[in-house]
Structure formats: structure tokens, C-alpha cells
Amino acid sequence: MKYSFKIGSVFGIPIELHITFIILLLVVLVFSRYYFILVIFLFVFVTLHELSHSLVAKHYNIEVQKIILYPIGGASQIESIADKPNLEWRLSIAGPLASFVIGLCLFALDLIIPIKAPFTTTRRLFYDLALLNVLLGAFNLIPAFPMDGGRVLRAYLAEKRGLSDATKYTSWIGRLLALIMIGVGVLVDWWLILIGVFIYVGATEERERPIRSITESKVSAKDIMSLEIATVTPENSLNEALEVMFRAKYHDALVEKDGNFMGIIAWNDILQILPEQRDSIKISQLPLRLITVFPNDSILEIYKKMTKENIDMMPVVEQDNPNQVIGVITDKSLSSAYEKAKSHQ
């Protein structure tokens, strides 16, 4: 489902309006004409916020594919910038800085020319618009997708953990924050519900973007799977299995018996066992998950399956011999896939 549509272009960059902006306009119009005016100004401010990202990108000769405008910020889809952390944080911070500068200028105008806000007797227009920009800049510094702060955090984590892990962690933070805001909004204020929905949608879309680029580049499971396979047997103790997992850098255990695939023991299931019991507990006593993929399967579908099952390792089997594991896909494999996708574009 597409959540945004094109409304024009600036500097040759397509501008798209996210559907949450339209929903916000309609909801606010029902409750307040003055806040409807503020949301119209918000559209202008968000556009300027996002154009600041684009101007910095042009300064570094980076192509901006398009801009999507959200009610509390936007998303500039900038080519390959996620793999250049030193540039991504510069481009990301430009938006909040622009909002703060606009806000300070409007605060100054309010002191010089105090203008009474329309449809109200107690508000000042420039003051409210200034506050709107400061809130826009501050909110976008929250370190979670799809806000700019999430991109700054991803730039930092990408240098430490790689792009795939960095995107996963910041997207997870964004979705967790969204659910908390929605829950609080049910009790406190419907605005928080709208903002929470926006954050959840944006974080989910951002999480899948690198994987979608892999899919579009026709990189399949067989192109990225590791041929080095570390397995455990049903007779192994849990501690013995953990040693194998740590050496192989697996987060889950791949179980085989006599060369035949038996299933996966998920990391979350292992954590349920107390450390002092792990010498006496056998692998056969833990629940097995019969999850596999085939060499030609879509990376996007594999990624979704791993996310749904909450696992970080996926065995690859031949279609005509599903008991024989021929490779393994891990988070590291997905990072390598993204690199291959870039080289194909």
C-alpha cells in the first residue's frame, strides 16, 4: 500500500505528501479553525525543514530521490547516504537546525510585531508559529525512526554494528516509542495517538527500505547465504550448544541429527533456561521451530519471516531435499546483501 502521493517538485526533487498529513488536516478542521491554520503553516515549515536536508545533500553532490512530508517532519530519500555515516548525520541534523532558526526568527518577530491570532482572543500568531517550529525541531531529534534523531543514531550505530543492525535497532526504538505514545494517548490526549501512528508507520517503512532495495536488485537467498554451517545435535547440552553458537556468531541454534535438519532453537527460548540448568538440559528438551527457506526465495519474504518468528538465523535447504541444509542466512548476510544491491544499482 502506498501512503503518500506527489504534489510537486522543488529543485527537481519530487515532493510527496504523506496521508497522515491529510488525516491531521481533516481532524483538526473539525475541532478548531485556528489550529487548522497552524497545520497549514506546519506544511510550509515541514517543507522548509526537508529542503534544508536537500540543500546540504546538493552541497555534497548527493542525489535526493524524493521528499515525503509528514506532520511532524519528513523523509528525504537520499541515494546511498545510509552507508556514509559521516554524511548522514550532517544531512539529518540540518532539518532540526533549520526549524530552530525559523523558530528563533519568529520569536523575535513576536517581540517586535505582536500579532493577535485569528479566531482567538488570547493567542499570538508569531509566538505560536515560533513554538511550532521549536517543537518540530526538538521532536525530530528524538533518537528513533523516522525522525532525524533516529538517522543520527543510525549513523553512529552503522559505524559500530553495520547498516542492517543499525536500521533494525533504530526502527525497533521507533516502533516501541510509537506504541507507548498510542497507549498514553488513549488515556491523555488523542494528539499522541496520531503522532504514535505516524511514528509506527514511518519506522516500519524505514526498516524494510534496505531489504526492499535488495529485492529490487534481484539478489536472492543463494547469493548471500553462508556455506559455513555450524550445527548442534539433540544430545548436546544447552551449554555445549551455546559454545557452538558463539563460535559461529549465531543468535539461534541450528539442530541436526545424522546430517538431517531437525529445526531451530530460538534465542528467546534459550534465555528461558536458568544458567545453572544449562549443563543438564539437552537440546532435545527445548521447542524446535521447523523454519526453512529455499535458495531462490525472495530476500524480502525471508526478512519478513525472520522478523515474524523473532529469529536472526535462517537455514537454506534444497527444494527437492528439505532435510539437507546447504547454507545459512544471518543478519550479517543481509548486510552483505545490501552491499551487493548497491553494486547492482
Shared-domain flag, residues 204 and 246: no
Claim: this prediction has a pTM higher than 0.85: no
Whole-angstrom distance, CA of residue 114 vs CA of residue 125 = 8
SS3 288: coil
**CA–centroid distance for 85 within its chain:** 16
Annotated catalytic residue, options 50, 88, 206, 256: 50
- The interaxial angle of helices 148-161 and 163-187, nearest 10 deg, is 150
CB contact at 8 A, 4 and 21: no
Last residue of a domain, one of 167, 194, 216: 216
C-alpha cell at 301: 519474504
Shared-domain flag, residues 83 and 100: yes
pLDDT of residue 108: 94
Shared-domain flag, residues 192 and 313: no
**Residue 312: CATH number of its domain:** 3.10.580.10
Shared-domain flag, residues 182 and 274: no
CB contact at 8 A, 228 and 325: no
pLDDT of residue 247: 87
Containing domain of residue 231, as a range?
A: 221-344
Name 229's Cβ contacts closer than 8 Å, sequence gap at least 6: 254, 315, 325, 327, 328
**CA–centroid distance for 189 within its chain:** 25
Q: How many domains does the chain have?
A: 2
CB contact at 8 A, 53 and 2: no
Shared-domain flag, residues 94 and 239: no
The strand order across the sheet containing 64-70 reads 4-10, 13-18, 64-70, 73-78
pLDDT of residue 72: 61
Residues 95-144 have pLDDT tens digits of: 899 999 999 999 999 999 888 888 776 788 889 899 999 988 998 888 87
Question: Which residue's entry shows cell 535462517?
Answer: 314
Shared-domain flag, residues 83 and 31: yes
Name 176's Cβ contacts closer than 8 Å, sequence gap at least 6: 144
**Whether 309 is catalytic:** no
pLDDT of residue 1: 42
Last residue of a domain, one of 198, 216, 234: 216
List of the chain residues with pLDDT < 50:
1, 216, 344-345
pLDDT of residue 103: 94
Shared-domain flag, residues 225 and 208: no
pLDDT of residue 133: 93
Shared-domain flag, residues 176 and 254: no
Shared-domain flag, residues 23 and 152: yes
Last residue of a domain, one of 191, 216, 241: 216
SS3 14: strand
Shared-domain flag, residues 201 and 249: no
SS3 281: coil
Shared-domain flag, residues 156 and 241: no
